[in-house]
């Protein structure tokens, strides 16, 4: 079994892990387009599996108009995929008019979308 499949998660409203967290070995190498991990931040469900300074609980949003999922938070960044209107998007970070997160389906791609293309799911 690969390290990536060991870390697989479904994006949904998350509950923070309970108890003390500790790494049992080196932090796993992951595909940043498949798992929500950056050098400074990761999905809270990856706590104890990857080491980063901060972990975030996703905020569920909905795509309001078809938009590109980008590799970086800037308009000239490479597009990874198109997200259709109505698609769920789990936001882990917002800055400078951009949201970083993961498309909702299991194994959904990770990237940036403009905040203006999203609405918070109540």
* Mean model confidence pLDDT for the chain: 84
Which residues span the domain enclosing 72?
59-120
Residue 18 lies in a domain: no
Give residue-wise pLDDT tens across range 36-58. 999 999 999 888 888 899 999 99
Give residue-wise pLDDT tens across range 89-121. 999 999 999 999 999 865 699 999 999 999 999
Residue 77 lies in a domain: yes
Instruction: Strands of 2-107 (E only): list them.
Output: 41-43, 54-56, 59-63, 67-70, 79-83, 88-95, 98-103
Q: Give the C-alpha distances (Å, rounded to integers) separating 73 from 34, 44, 60.
A: 17, 21, 19
Residue 24 lies in a domain: no
Here the CATH number for the domain that contains residue 80 is: 2.30.30.40
Please tell me the predicted confidence (pLDDT) of residue 7: 47
């Amino acid at each position: 079994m690969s390290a990536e499949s060991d870390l697989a998660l479904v994006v949904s409203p998350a509950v923070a892990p309970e108890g003390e967290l500790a790494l049992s070995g080196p932090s796993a190498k992951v595909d940043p387009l498949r798992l929500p991990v950056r050098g400074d931040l990761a999905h809270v469900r990856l706590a104890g599996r990857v080491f980063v300074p901060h972990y975030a609980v996703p905020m569920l949003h909905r795509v309001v108009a078809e938009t590109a999922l980008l590799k970086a938070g800037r308009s000239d960044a490479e597009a990874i995929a198109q997200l259709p209107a109505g698609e769920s998007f789990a936001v882990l970070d917002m800055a400078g008019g951009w949201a970083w997160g993961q498309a909702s389906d299991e194994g959904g791609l990770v990237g940036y979308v403009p905040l203006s293309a999203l609405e918070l799911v109540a």
